[in-house]
Amino acid sequence: MSLTKTDKTIIVTIWNKIAPQADSIGTETLERLFFSYPQTKTYFPHFDLSHGSAQLHGHGTKVVNAIGDAVKSIDNISTALSKLSELHAYILRVDPVNFKLLSHTFLVTVAARFPADFTAEAHAAWDKFLSIVSSVLTEKYR
Amino acid sequence: MVHLSGEEKGYINAIWSKVSIDQTGAEALGRLLIVYPWTSRFFDHFGDLSSAKSVMGNAKVQGHGAKVLTSFGDAVKNMDNLKGTFAKLSELHCDKLHVDPENFKLLGNILVICLAEHFGKEFTPEVQAAWQKLVAGVATALAHKYH
């Protein structure tokens, strides 16, 4: 699975549209994750996950900024996210199934906020992109 | 066996009452074929599915999407008995259609995204969570009679 030129153009265009709302998109993505998939909360016993929590906001920002980093280095996601990949493999060890869940709630958030821009083509490109990001983050797991 | 609280059923019904079944059904099936092109393996007889444009404009996709979502309406009417409601359809998908149940999960998530797109802010995390439970329950019910 690799990104075509068209995919990349779409991904960057959408990113530029959503970047100004990156913080709140990150928070909403995580809130949706914890509501729909409560088992994901097991990775955050040390967090206050209530609505409006500073930790939730901070972590959401971190996650979306990392997605932004991948967009900015779309031709070399592996290198751009190398440190994050190691972090997930050796320290965090989040089960790979959860990357699909997070990708899904990110797409739901974007769809809800940018209905006109989230065309079927944009949906397909971003689903692919997040799938690749997830692969990069799990590539050092074993 | 999915258990939905009164509140969750309320969320689901509130959204469902405003859904245009034909339009959303076509949208959901179309997006399934575009986002996960390998799902077209079940629809070789539908004609041109080679591009996003041709998929969305394909009359057979639109018709079938409407059919699928109409059937989903039975789920909304029978949230406490999804397995019973979809028993016959489950057998059909296994014995005649030979559909990998993984596809039910894919379509369920695509439907959730379509609803998010249509309802925006109204599709809150709580509302989404209720819908995720329902689509998961439907997927399980449709796979229940597989052998």
Can you give the CATH number for the domain in which A15 is found?
A: 1.10.490.10
Query: Which whole-number Å values give the CA distances from B23 to A2, A97, A137, B29, B108, in the listed order?
Result: 31, 32, 37, 10, 16
**The pLDDT of residue A1 is above 80:** no
Answer whether B129 sits within 8 Å of A36, measured CB to CB. yes
Residues 6+ apart with CB under 8 A from A113: A18, A21, A25, B120
Residues 6+ apart with CB under 8 A from B123: A108, A112, B15, B115, B116
Percent of chain B at pLDDT exceeding 90: 95
Query: Which whole-number Å values give the CA distances from B98 to A22, B83, B90, B107, B142, in the listed order?
Result: 42, 19, 10, 16, 12
Q: Residue A100 belongs to what domain range?
A: 5-138
Helices B59-77 and B125-143, axial angle in degrees (round to 10)? 100
Residue A20's pLDDT is 97
The pLDDT of B129-134, averaged and rounded, is 98
Could you tell me if A54 lies within 8 Å of chain B, comparing CB atoms?
no
What secondary structure letter does DSSP report for B48?
-
Which helix (H) or strand (E) segment is A105 a member of? Answer: helix A97-113
**The pLDDT of residue B1 is above 80:** no
- For residue range A93-107, what is the model confidence (pLDDT) as tens digits? 898 999 999 999 999
Q: Which residue of B has its CA nearest to A115?
A: B117
Could you tell me if A116 lies within 8 Å of chain B, comparing CB atoms?
no
Answer whether B34 sits within 8 Å of A123, measured CB to CB. yes
Give the number of domains in chain A.
Answer: 1
B139: phi then psi, degrees, rounded to nearest 5: -60, -45
Query: What is the pTM (predicted TM-score) of this model?
Result: 0.91
The CB density around residue A13, as the number of other CB atoms within 10 Å, is 13
Answer whether A123 sits within 8 Å of B125, measured CB to CB. no
- For residue range B56-93, what is the model confidence (pLDDT) as tens digits? 999 999 999 999 999 999 999 999 999 999 999 999 99
**Cα of A93 vs its chain's centroid, Å:** 16
What secondary structure letter does DSSP report for A139?
T
